Structure formats: structure tokens, C-alpha cells
């Protein structure tokens, strides 16, 4: 049974990746999950310097989902390399570092520093965080901006480059294409949907940042549709995410066109979700006699429905 896949030069043993912003720096979960059994660990977004993020309240629940506005609190790339990366390396994790920037130069600088660090396996470009005003999403919401940041990072690293796309655009597939044209090894999608929640009694927003990003099962069907659209637009691998809670959910993303998937919000609910997902995927492969999991990628059958079952 082969669950592996490749993103550029990187081989992942299975398609399950911990989503950035939902797994700390990975080390927080090292005693709960054997990190080496995951396809990869996408660590919390890193800028060049430390950031404090937004004041609380930073999250609020909504039906089958949650809004967050953490504001990319982080320890910066240098402290990450000195204080967290050694343990990730010792635990045998495949480390995907999510990198952020307020300027093009900052993305390039962070990418360059991480490319020289032992134990970093890929770079995910955060051009899609809805919660900070400067940089980031301004690249992710403009086709030339996406192209420019991907090609600039591409020039300074031999690591696989995976831009993470925002769903807060009219046509996400055109952004996937811009990333592919600029030399991306894969794209990941979706980041959270810009959203808002208000306390009607006080008439105040429930988040200190006023708006935040919606994640969780509530967004899954929209994310599946966006992965499907991107699969038809690009040849490079797609890392799909959005509210995956079960093995079936992960398989749905893969059949829509994702080569790998990330689990974010549901890891908060169940930190032991990983073995359950892997077992479920293996059961599915057994049931459907699938030897190689990548064979199901993008196989959604959209041809006219067979009529036989209707008349019978």
C-alpha cells in the first residue's frame, strides 16, 4: 500500500500534513503525536523578527467552525532555527516552514536564511493571512504580486516552494496558475475566509481585530470546490485543506484534485486525529483495491450520470 507523494524533490510518506498556525512549531505536539509519522509539519508562520500578534480575544466559535485573528504572533526565523528546529530534527519531522513578509525583500531574506538551515524540507509562502494589514495578503490578492513573490523566492532557494493561496479572491485558479508560472513546486489552499462575528448585546465585534479568518468544517465544501478548480488549471501538486475532520473528508479533497492535505482546526478538537485519518485512508484503499493513493487524485467523475440506477 503506497501512500507517498512527491512535491518537487521532497518525498512525503503520506499525504497528511499539520496545517500552519494550528500546530504551534510542532514541538508542542511532540509528546502527543509521533511527528515522524506525519507526511509533514507546517510550522507557524515566521517573519524575520519576533511579533506579538493581536490582543485577545483572538478566536470565536461559529457553527461548525471558528474565526481567528491571532495576528501571526511568532518568534522570528532566527529563534526558530536556534530553539525549535533542533527538536523537530531529532523527532524526525518533515518540516515545512510557513514564511511571511511585509515586503518582497523580507520573504526573500527569510527564505534564504531557512535554506541554509539543516532540517528544513520545504517553504510554504504565506501570501494569504487575512489578519494582518501589511504585506502578505496584498501579494496573495494580486496576480502580479503572487508571481513576483514566488519567482523572487524561487531564485534564492532549492527547497520546494509552496505558495499558500487565499480564498478571498474571485478566481483562485488564476492565482494557482500565476504561482505555477512563477516556478512554484506546489500550491496549498485554502487559507481562511475573511469573516466577522458581533455580540448583539454589546454591539461589539467578538474579535479584538474586528474581523478574522473562518476555518473548520463550515468551509469544507467551498474549499473542495476551489481545489477542484485549481486542479483543472495547474499540473503541479496541490495541498488541499479546509475543515478536514475524517478520512472521508481527506479523500474528498484528493478526489477533487489534492495530492496532499492539511489538517488544522480539527487538530485542536482532536490532537490524536492523525492515526484515525491514516487508518481510515488505509481501510478505504483496501475496500476499493487501491494500491497507490496518488491514483485517486483528481478522479472525480463529472461525466453525465448513468441512468441505469434511476430506472431500476
Partner 1 sequence: MEVYTSMMPVDIDATVIANRRLSADYNVLSFAAPEIAAAARPGQFVMIKTSGGQDPLLRRPFSIFEVLRDDTGQPAGISIFNKRIGAGTTLLSRVESGMRLAVLGPLGRPFEPVDPPAEAWMVAGGVGLAPFVTLAIALAARGTRATLFYGARRAEELYCVDLFEALGVSVVLSTEDGSRGIRGRVTVPLGDALERRSLGNPVKLYVCGPTPMMRACAQLAHAHGRACDVSLEQVMGCGLGGCYSCVVLARGGDGGKPHHTRTCIDGPVFDAQRVVWDEVSGH
Catalytic residues: 129
User: Interface mask (CB under 8 A) for partner 1, residues 232-251, using x and -?
Assistant: -------------x------
Could you say whether residue 136 binds partner 1 (CB under 8 A)? no
Q: State the alpha helices, DSSP H only, in 157-246.
A: 172-181, 220-233
* Residue in 84, 73, 56, 217 with CA at minimum distance from that of residue 132: 73
In this structure, are residues 54 and 209 in contact, taking their beta carbons and an 8 Å threshold?
yes
Stretch that binds partner 1, among 58-66, 178-186, 290-298, 303-311 (CB under 8 A): 58-66
Residues 6+ apart with CB under 8 A from 67: 59, 60, 61, 195, 196, 197, 206, 207, 212, 213, 214
Q: Among 16, 29, 162, 209, which residue interacts with partner 1 (rule: CB under 8 A)?
A: 29
Could you say whether residue 169 binds partner 1 (CB under 8 A)? no
Could you say whether residue 131 binds partner 1 (CB under 8 A)? no
Could you say whether residue 262 binds partner 1 (CB under 8 A)? no
Cα–Cα distance between 249 and 265 in angstroms, integer?
13
Could you say whether residue 277 binds partner 1 (CB under 8 A)? no
In this structure, are residues 273 and 266 in contact, taking their beta carbons and an 8 Å threshold?
yes
Residue closer to partner 1 (CB basis): 39 or 71: 71
Residue closer to partner 1 (CB basis): 60 or 173: 60
Q: Among 8, 57, 76, 298, which residue interacts with partner 1 (rule: CB under 8 A)?
A: 57
What are the angstrom distances between the C-alpha of 43 and each of 123, 141, 305, 310? 10, 23, 42, 48
DSSP tag of 274: H
Q: State the nearest-atom distance from the C-beta of 109 to partner 1, in Å.
A: 23
* Residue in 24, 42, 30, 21 with CA at minimum distance from that of residue 97: 42
Residue closer to partner 1 (CB basis): 3 or 30: 30
- Phi and psi at residue 50, to the nearest 5°: -70, 150
Q: State the nearest-atom distance from the C-beta of 262 to partner 1, in Å.
A: 13
* Residue in 169, 183, 164, 178 with CA at minimum distance from that of residue 260: 164
Q: State the nearest-atom distance from the C-beta of 57 to partner 1, in Å.
A: 6
Could you say whether residue 24 binds partner 1 (CB under 8 A)? yes
Residue closer to partner 1 (CB basis): 7 or 195: 195
Q: Among 2, 4, 28, 279, which residue interacts with partner 1 (rule: CB under 8 A)?
A: 28
Which run of H or E residues covers position 58? none
* Residue in 130, 128, 82 with CA at minimum distance from that of residue 107: 128
Residues that bind partner 1 (CB under 8 A): 21-24, 27-32, 44, 52-53, 55-61, 63-66, 68, 70, 73, 83, 86-87, 208, 216-217, 245, 265, 267-272
Amino acid at each position: 500500500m503506497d501512500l507517498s507523494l512527491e512535491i518537487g524533490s521532497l518525498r512525503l510518506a503520506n499525504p497528511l500534513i499539520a496545517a500552519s498556525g494550528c500546530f504551534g512549531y510542532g514541538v508542542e505536539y511532540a509528546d502527543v503525536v509521533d511527528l515522524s509519522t506525519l507526511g509533514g509539519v507546517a510550522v507557524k508562520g515566521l517573519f524575520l523578527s519576533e511579533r506579538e500578534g493581536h490582543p485577545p480575544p483572538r478566536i470565536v466559535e461559529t457553527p461548525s467552525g471558528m474565526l481567528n485573528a491571532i495576528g501571526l504572533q511568532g518568534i522570528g526565523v532566527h529563534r526558530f532555527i536556534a530553539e525549535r528546529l533542533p527538536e523537530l530534527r531529532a523527532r524526525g519531522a518533515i518540516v515545512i516552514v510557513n514564511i511571511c513578509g511585509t515586503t518582497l525583500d523580507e520573504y526573500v531574506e527569510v527564505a534564504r536564511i531557512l535554506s541554509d538551515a539543516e532540517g528544513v524540507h520545504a517553504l510554504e509562502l504565506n501570501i494569504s493571512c487575512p489578519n494582518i494589514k501589511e504585506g502578505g495578503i496584498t501579494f496573495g490578492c494580486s496576480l502580479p504580486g503572487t508571481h513576483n513573490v514566488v519567482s523572487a523566492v524561487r531564485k534564492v532557494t532549492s527547497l520546494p516552494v509552496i505558495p499558500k493561496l487565499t480564498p478571498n479572491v474571485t478566481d483562485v485558479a488564476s492565482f494557482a496558475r500565476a504561482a505555477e508560472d512563477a516556478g512554484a513546486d506546489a500550491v496549498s489552499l485554502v487559507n481562511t475566509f475573511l469573516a466577522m462575528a458581533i455580540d448583539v448585546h454589546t454591539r461589539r465585534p467578538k474579535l479584538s481585530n474586528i474581523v478574522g479568518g473562518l476555518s473548520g468544517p463550515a468551509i469544507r465544501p467551498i474549499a473542495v470546490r476551489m481545489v477542484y478548480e485549481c486542479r483543472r488549471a495547474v499540473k503541479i501538486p496541490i495541498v488541499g485543506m479546509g475543515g478536514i475532520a475524517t478520512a472521508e473528508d481527506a479523500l474528498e479533497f484528493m478526489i477533487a484534485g489534492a495530492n496532499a492535505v492539511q489538517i488544522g482546526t480539527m487538530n485542536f478538537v482532536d490532537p490524536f486525529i492523525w492515526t484515525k485519518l491514516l487508518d481510515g485512508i488505509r481501510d478505504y484503499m483496501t475496500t476499493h483495491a487501491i494500491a497507490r493513493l496518488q491514483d485517486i487524485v483528481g478522479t472525480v467523475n463529472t461525466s453525465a450520470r448513468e441512468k441505469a440506477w434511476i430506472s431500476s
